[in-house]
């Protein structure tokens, strides 16, 4: 399991209530968490959870208590052709997953962007971004790196069909959902 970052909507299914006790949902899984992300939330303390309530206690700490949490650095190879890499800004240690290599890649970019409008306006951040300037810089660098490559991009909060490609549109960028004007899957 990868915890792309430690916001409530990305860790809530880490655990389940079993006889009044929160336990890992998947007892044989490793839960990968960026060390930088974990350090941030440890230092931020309870005040950082005021809006959402303390989901760290029920959705993250039980994974550590069970010995299933694995803290990883900014870049980490999960397996051949599967790696995680940093995407800071939304949170300090947010990670995204890269599947495949070369042109044959899919990237699960977590909350690097929340809405397709952020592709056209990468300077826009949500109120949940801990560092809006870093989030903007990360988005722009990501768009520059992946625009026109044909790589499949999967933002966590985009509507179905979720995945698509990024292209340059003059000085701006454009996101094309899979199936919108091309098939995406199996294309070269």
**DSSP letters of 22-90?**
EEESSTT--EEEEHHHHHHHHHH-GGGGTTT--HHHHHTHHHHHTT-EEEE-SSEEEETTEEEEE-TTS
Q: How far apart are CA 56 and CA 165, in angstroms?
A: 34
> Both tokens of residue 5?
């970052």
Which pLDDT score, from 0 to 100, does residue 160 have? 87
Which pLDDT score, from 0 to 100, does residue 186 have? 54
Can you list the residues of the chain whose pLDDT is less than 70?
182-183, 185-188
Going from N- to C-terminal start, the domains of the chain cover 2-72, 81-177
Q: How far apart are CA 128 and CA 10, in angstroms?
A: 13
Sort 91 into a burial class: Cβ within 10 Å, 0-12 / 13-18 / 19+. buried
Helices (H) and strands (E) counted in the chain, each on its own, are: 6, 12
Q: Using alpha carbons, select from 133, 134, 112, 119 the residue that is nearest to residue 172.
A: 119
pTM equals: 0.90
CATH 3.90.1150.110 at 81-177, yes or no: no
């Amino acid at each position: 399991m990868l915890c792309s970052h430690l916001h409530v909507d990305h860790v809530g299914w880490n655990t389940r209530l079993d006889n009044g006790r929160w336990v890992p949902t998947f007892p044989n899984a490793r839960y990968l968490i960026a060390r930088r992300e974990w350090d941030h939330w440890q230092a931020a303390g309870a005040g950082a959870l005021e809006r959402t309530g303390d989901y760290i206690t029920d959705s993250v700490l039980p994974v550590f208590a069970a010995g299933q949490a694995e803290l990883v650095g900014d870049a980490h190879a999960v397996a051949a052709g599967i790696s995680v890499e940093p995407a800071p800004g939304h949170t300090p240690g947010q990670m995204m997953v890269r599947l495949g290599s070369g042109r044959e890649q899919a990237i699960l970019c977590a909350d690097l962007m929340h809405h397709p409008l952020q592709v056209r306006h990468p300077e826009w951040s949500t109120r949940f971004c801990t560092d809006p300037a870093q989030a903007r810089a990360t988005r722009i660098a990501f768009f520059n790196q992946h625009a026109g490559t044909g790589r499949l991009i999967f933002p966590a909060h985009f509507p179905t069909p979720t995945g698509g490609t990024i292209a340059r549109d003059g000085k701006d960028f454009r996101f094309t959902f899979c199936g919108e004007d091309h098939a995406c899957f199996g294309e070269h």
